[in-house]
Amino acid sequence: MTEDTNSSKVKLDRSTAYPAMSLKDAVDYSSKLISNYPKADFNRESAARAIWHSSLNGTAARKVAALWHFGLLEKNWKSYKNSDLAHKISTPIDDNEKKTAIIQALKEPKLYSDLIDEFTGMILPDTLSNVISRNHWISNKVSDFVTKLFKESLEYSWMLKDWVLQSPEMKENLELDTDSLPEDTLSTPDNEEKAVTPIQSAIKNNDYINVELPSWAIISYPSNIAFQVQINSEFPILIWKLEEIINSINEKI
């Protein structure tokens, strides 16, 4: 008997690539590499020694790979070099460049980018590790660890606020400081048509931030008042009170 060479092949689903360390740790190791090799290329063995490993063992290799996942290393055949993104974080021109670069690094890993797209504007679910395991083919043995690294990276990049995953666009909008604006930009002469308020503008353009609760209820508020909502310490308390009320109603149905 001859084996059928045209028989169908089973396609195996591969897990989504992820870094084996938090973004904060990756930035710390990146700074060490920049100190040792500001502009020069280097191989993995040299990188391992720069981040305090005597040889390129499994742990060191995973650390180097994590730096590449976050876009902090550029790979050219068998050599590496510190990326422009890494330099913007390590030696930024100003704070805004550093913050922007850190957020960009956060979105570089495929898994992190997918999760950010999926959960932006929402409260991260308690079952996030299950989502990572089932939807992204990450082993159950490491899904809790991967979830922990993802949350730590979000907090380091200012993308997690009151359990809600922020969008990069929202973080940029919050940089506006109205105290630094001239007075004539904040007021309108009586004989001119009054400007549309931020809330009216948001309603007109349907520009809302949606926060999905574990009960599947959705809270919406104009994105233009996102900063005021975030600094209000009572907001998360009210959310969870609302969640309790919804759960109580569901139990009676």
What does the pLDDT look like over 196-220, one tens digit per residue? 444 444 444 456 677 777 767 777 7
pTM: 0.64
Q: Give yes or no: residues 160 and 221 share one domain.
A: no
Q: Give yes or no: residues 69 and 122 share one domain.
A: yes
Q: Give yes or no: residues 46 and 147 share one domain.
A: yes
Q: Give yes or no: residues 30 and 123 share one domain.
A: yes
Q: Strand, helix or coil at 212? A: strand
Q: Give yes or no: residues 46 and 145 share one domain.
A: yes
Residue 138 resides in a domain: yes
Residue 205 resides in a domain: yes
Residue 93 resides in a domain: yes
Q: Give yes or no: residues 158 and 68 share one domain.
A: yes
Residue 206 resides in a domain: yes
CA-wise closest residue to 168 among 217, 90, 226: 226
Q: Give the integer Cα–Cα distance in Å for 63 and 57.
A: 10
Parent domain of 220: 196-252
Q: What is the pLDDT of residues 51-105, one digit of tens each?
A: 989 899 999 999 999 999 999 999 988 899 999 999 999 999 999 999 999 999 9
User: How many domains would you assign to the chain?
Assistant: 2
- What does DSSP assign to residue 224? G
Name the helix (H) or strand (E) containing 98: helix 95-106
Contacts of 92 by beta carbon, 8 Å cutoff, 6+ apart: 98, 101
Q: Give yes or no: residues 140 and 220 share one domain.
A: no
Q: Give yes or no: residues 235 and 134 share one domain.
A: no
